Amino acid sequence: MNDSAEPSSQSAPGVAPDDTSTAKQAVSDELRSDVSQAAAQAHEEANAKTAGRRVVVAEDEAIIRMDIVEILRDSGYEVVAEAGDGEAAVAAVREHKPDLVVMDVKMPVMDGITAAETISRERLAPVVMLTAFSQTELVERARDAGAMAYVVKPFSASDLLPAAEIALSRHAEITALESEVADLQERFEIRKQVERAKGLLMSAMGMSEPEAFRWIQKTSMDRRLSMREVAEVVLTQVKPKDKPKRM
């Protein structure tokens, strides 16, 4: 008896070799389709994130300016104005009030750093600086001028777009912090005025501190005024040893 047997190709039970190959091809095609859909979705999400973001582009070299505009528009940004010198850039930013400025350092009439200083001082928009040089001194000057990000030429979309997002993010963080500081200052001023009004009521009527505070609070609720407004009325109308007038 011969125990040896001819080798045979193995396949799933009940499935012909051609069917197995077809199934593998179908799975491969499906995976490629999934990857393509995921890439398309990621691109759409990136464009949606930047959609509506308005940009002013300032670059004295027309070809480079065209490249910048194309990169930004392809990524969903709206380029609202272009400029070939720093003075025109500042004027465009003042007119259009964009979300972002992309600007070259070396430009005629007014250089980019001087323009960035003006834009930053007037709190018009975050600035991304472009330059062919990467010296530490120039980077520091751009930073001191208020630039939020810095890109060295030659650059590609993978260099410019992250810098734009960084500039927008930093500007948003700074704006939020400034708002918080302003809110704290406002609360502090209100507290000071209420404290002064309480002291005046205590002096005028011999109220205790809790009684003076409750009077301000109740008047605020009854008259639908803020406590600051009530405190201002007390400070302007109530004199020492006078009774507070009904409002």
- Residues counted in the chain: 247
Cα(55)–Cα(61) distance, integer angstroms: 18
pLDDT per residue over 14-37, tens digit each? Answer: 555 566 667 667 666 666 665 555
Model confidence at 46, pLDDT cuts 50, 70, 90, reads very low
Q: What is residue 143's predicted lDDT score, i.e. its pLDDT?
A: 81
The answer to whether the CB of 151 falls within 8 A of the CB of 130 is yes
User: In Å, how far from its chain's centre is CA 22?
Assistant: 51
Model confidence at 238, pLDDT cuts 50, 70, 90, reads confident
Structural tokens at position 69: 């505009």
Residue 81 has pLDDT above 80, yes or no: yes
Model confidence at 39, pLDDT cuts 50, 70, 90, reads very low
pLDDT per residue over 90-127, tens digit each? Answer: 999 999 999 999 999 989 999 999 999 999 999 999 99
Same fold, 53-155 and 180-237: no
Structural tokens at position 80: 């609202």
Question: Class for domain 53-155, per CATH?
Answer: alpha beta
Report domain extents, the chain.
53-155, 180-237
Residue 40 has pLDDT above 70, yes or no: no
Residue 63 has pLDDT above 80, yes or no: yes
More confident residue, 236 or 128: 128
Model confidence at 45, pLDDT cuts 50, 70, 90, reads low
Q: What is residue 246's predicted lDDT score, i.e. its pLDDT?
A: 56
One-letter-per-residue 3-state SS of the chain: CCCCCCCCCCCCCCCCHHHHHHHHHHHHHHHHHHHHHHHHHHHHHHHHHHCCCEEEEECCCHHHHHHHHHHHHHCCCEEEEEECCHHHHHHHHHHHCCCEEEEECCCCCCCHHHHHHHHHHCCCCCEEEEECCCCHHHHHHHHHCCCCEEEECCCCHHHHHHHHHHHHHHHHHHHHHHHHHHHHHHHHHHHHHHHHHHHHHHHHHCCCHHHHHHHHHHHHHHHCCCHHHHHHHHHHHCCCCCCCCCC
Residue 145 has pLDDT above 70, yes or no: yes
Q: What is the mean pLDDT of residues 44-58?
A: 71
Percent of the chain with pLDDT over 90: 35
More confident residue, 43 or 31: 31
CATH 3.40.50.261 correct for 180-237: no
Euclidean distance between the first and the last CA atom of the chain, given in angstroms as a whole number: 119
With vertex at residue 55, the alpha carbon angle to CA 114 and CA 47, rounded to the nearest 5 degrees, is: 145
Q: What is the mean pLDDT of residues 217-231?
A: 87
Residue 164 has pLDDT above 90, yes or no: yes
* Predicted structure pTM score: 0.59
